[in-house]
Structure 1
Amino acid sequence: MTVQPEATTTFVEYCGERLPVLSGKPFYIGREATLTVDDNPYLHRRFLVLHDENGMWWLTNLGTHLSATVTAADLGFTATLGPGARMPLVFGRTSIVFTAGPTTYEVQVQAGSPNVSAPTVERFVGGDTTRGVPNFTESQRLAMLVLAEAILKRDGTGASAIPSSAQAAARLGWSLTKFNRKLDNVCDKLDMIGVSGMRAGGGKLASNRRLRLVEYALSTRVISRADLPLLDAEYARNQSSDQQ
């Protein structure tokens, strides 16, 4: 990745409110903090802190049992920040999602300089093709896309936003049997190249494979926000054919 200096104001957004983050002044997030997100007793008083150090903005988890998911969807980046861990915020716009008790929260952070952009990929001509990334059919990509729709529309949305197979099938205008068949095909391809989480022990289908599939599709950029209009087009096409 390339680091590019950028003089961008740093701020935190939560529920439509924008709060500035000042250099040299730690910004705490919790139930009794600079940003008090809720009086939820399951949430630490000071759970996260945003602070600058050596010219970079850092996010540190001050908690003892809660984790936060940090996402920069446009760059295909997602990481879990566990208790006591810290990480630099170098992506410009970042979403932070965490759950305390029954409630899930999402905070947006716009971090100033430095800023990381997506790397420039050089295309090589000739030589052997690297094996590993399978070719997906249009319908297989649609199956992945519908599972990741909510996450692509809103950075940081957690695993609870991934639809069930029945919901995904309805969104596409497919039968449940068709969707499950496409999902099986995709998971089989990924299992063959060694992607974990596609199958459980004994060759059985993994219970959380939809989540692992979405993680894979986003991190490898098999799908992106630009593909989202394909969902409406597929649904409209199937509705039209049903009416004929």
Structure 2
Amino acid sequence: MGAEGAGVADAPIEVEFVGELYEIEPGDDFTIGRDADLIIDENPYLHRKFLLLRFEFGMWWLMNVGSVLSATVTDESGQVQSWLAPGAKLPIVFQNLNVMFSAGSTTYDFTIHAKTDYFNTSHVNTSPDGNTTRDAVHLTTSQRQLIVALCEDVLRQAVPGRGEIPASNDAAERLGWSMTTFNRKLDNVCEKLDKMGVTGLRGGRGKLATNRRARLVEYAISTRLVSADDLVLLDDVDAERTKQRAAAPAAPAADRAPSRGGA
């Protein structure tokens, strides 16, 4: 542990979910899921017990005790990310960790607050004035619009915790695109990030993963690839749609039905 690793390793740890704090003492297991110490939701797609916090080997650990779902875990800066698959466990070495996961069409997130800080990367992703610097991922405007459309509900939440991921046809309609255009751009975004080493966006043998929209949302939010500031891109879509409607020629009036009275 370096000089920055201030704090006591066996101190309690806290979980923050939708504004509520839960303190866990060393020696106490703390489960997270549909039927657990922290009940995230009654979502049937969510494991009864999905994640487990436990203190062992002198450290706190986050464990995936589910059988299907995975979680995206990132440090406060968004620069260090891990994909916690079923059966995997991760030592908690940062003071603040964000955990995101999806069950069905809903994405959830909570924060872990630890007393001990083994590593500190909060300065890596900020400029001298303290503003967050964007990741070096080149996206076209339309690709960024696609990601924002998928993340819109999560980005608009006043209190983090849960958000709905739209179906592909709903997101395409939100953007004013055909399904062919939407799927092509989604393919391009997932392929680009996959080549950068982002896991979970492709299935076996080159087949795109069926849950890629959920994984894309998790990655984009947790790494700050998009933020609430990007919602203006959807405002631009709305403005363009309004402009097109205003410029469209008026539909011809229907022929009047002949009057019943004869001349």
Separation in 2, partners of 1:157, 1:96? 9
Separation in 2, partners of 1:165, 1:183? 10
Q: How far 1:237 moved relative to its partner? A: 1.5
Q: Which has the higher helix share?
A: 1
1:147 to 139, 145, 150: 150
TM-aligned CA distance change 1:5 to 1:149, over 3 Å: farther
TM-aligned CA distance change 1:208 to 1:79, over 3 Å: closer
Whether 1:51 and 2:55 are equivalent positions in the alignment is yes
TM-aligned CA distance change 1:78 to 1:231, over 3 Å: farther
Correspondence 1:28-107 to 2 at 5 A: 28-29=30-31, 35=38, 43-44=48-49, 48-51=52-55, 54=58, 56-61=59-64, 63=65, 65=67, 69-72=71-74, 75=78, 77-83=81-87, 85-88=89-92, 90=94, 92-95=96-99, 97=101
Aligned-partner residue type, residue 71 of structure 2: T
Backbone CA RMSD of aligned residues: 4.9
Q: How far 1:157 moved relative to its partner? A: 5.5
Separation in 2, partners of 1:199, 1:81? 14
Aligned-partner residue type, residue 151 of structure 2: A
Separation in 2, partners of 1:67, 1:177? 29
Q: Which runs of 5+ in 2 are unaligned?
A: 127-135, 247-263
Separation in 1, partners of 2:20, 2:182? 40
Relative to structure 2, which stretch is displaced further, 210-219 or 234-243? Answer: 210-219
Please report the TM-score for the alignment, with normalisation by the length of structure 1. 0.60
3-state SS of the aligned residue for 2:87? Answer: coil
3-state SS of the aligned residue for 2:73? Answer: strand
Q: Which runs of 5+ in 1 are unaligned?
A: 123-132
Map Cα deviations across residues 129-153 of structure 1 (whole Å, 9 max, x no partner). Answer: xxxx774321122112222334555
TM-aligned CA distance change 1:114 to 1:207, over 3 Å: same
TM-aligned CA distance change 1:35 to 1:177, over 3 Å: closer
Aligned-partner residue type, residue 239 of structure 2: R
Please report the TM-score for the alignment, with normalisation by the length of structure 2. 0.57
3-state SS of the aligned residue for 2:71? Answer: strand
TM-aligned CA distance change 1:50 to 1:105, over 3 Å: farther
Aligned-partner residue type, residue 26 of structure 1: D
Q: Is the 8 A contact 1:58 1:86 kept in 2?
A: yes
Separation in 2, partners of 1:192, 1:85? 25
Separation in 2, partners of 1:220, 1:199? 22
Map Cα deviations across residues 111-135 of structure 1 (whole Å, 9 max, x no partner). Answer: 223344345279xxxxxxxxxx774
Q: How far 1:51 moved relative to its partner? A: 2.6
Map Cα deviations across residues 152-191 of structure 1 (whole Å, 9 max, x no partner). Answer: 5566769xx4433211122224444443443344456567
Identical residues among aligned pairs (%)? 31
Aligned equivalent of 1:12 = 15
Separation in 2, partners of 1:204, 1:107? 27
2:234 to 225, 232, 235: 232
1:110 to 109, 112, 134: 112
Aligned-partner residue type, residue 171 of structure 2: A
Aligned length: 223
Separation in 1, partners of 2:66, 2:240? 50
Q: How far 1:69 moved relative to its partner? A: 1.6
Q: Is the 8 A contact 1:69 1:156 kept in 2?
A: no
Aligned-partner residue type, residue 241 of structure 1: K
Tell me which structure has the larger Cα radius of gyration: 2
